[in-house]
Amino acid sequence: MPLSEASSTLRTLVWDDTNYVTAVAVVNPSAVTNIVTITVRDNAGNLIGNPTVLLSPHAKLAVVLRDLPGLAGVAGKRGFADFSVVAGNVAVLGLRFNGQAFTSIPTVNR
């Protein structure tokens, strides 16, 4: 599964951390430094957290979603996460782990 298209300023990931562990790969394909805002809500729409990540030009970040600051509340829940930038673009790919098995989770452009 490829990363999302690299010409988007907002990507949405649907995640499930009930029996799985959700991780994300976030890429800044832009030639400028970007602040990526990650707004995470549970499946009822309640805000879990809203951390930001600073990414240098053409940099990437791969991390378990619940390990980001303020997102420990993802554990044991389902929901969605919006990844947005004000300038430039962002590309995102979700990964779902269950023991040794894993699969990719595509994101949608909004």
4 CB contacts (<8 Å, ≥6 apart)? 11, 91, 92, 93, 106, 107, 109
pLDDT digits (tens, 9 = 90+) for 44-73: 999 999 999 999 999 999 999 999 999 999
The torsion angles phi and psi of 7, rounded to 5 degrees, stand at: -115, 30
- % of the chain at pLDDT higher than 70: 93
- The pLDDT of residue 105 is 84
Cβ atoms of residues 76 and 83 within 8 Å: no
Any domain includes 42: yes
Any domain includes 91: yes
Distances (CA, A) of 70 to 9, 44, 45, 48, 82: 22, 18, 16, 8, 15
The domain total for the chain is: 1
Torsion sign over Cα 45, 47, 48, 54: positive
Averaged over 34-40, what is the pLDDT? 96
The CATH code of the domain that includes 68 is 2.60.290.11
Boundaries of domain holding 86: 10-105
Q: Is the pLDDT of residue 101 over 90?
A: no
- The pLDDT of residue 4 is 47
- The pLDDT of residue 6 is 56
Any domain includes 61: yes
Any domain includes 5: no
- The pLDDT of residue 108 is 78
Any domain includes 85: yes
CB neighbours of residue 8 within 10 Å: 20
- % of the chain at pLDDT higher than 90: 71
Q: Is the pLDDT of residue 83 over 90?
A: yes
Percent helix / strand / coil, the chain, rounded to 5: 5, 50, 45
Q: Which pTM was predicted?
A: 0.89
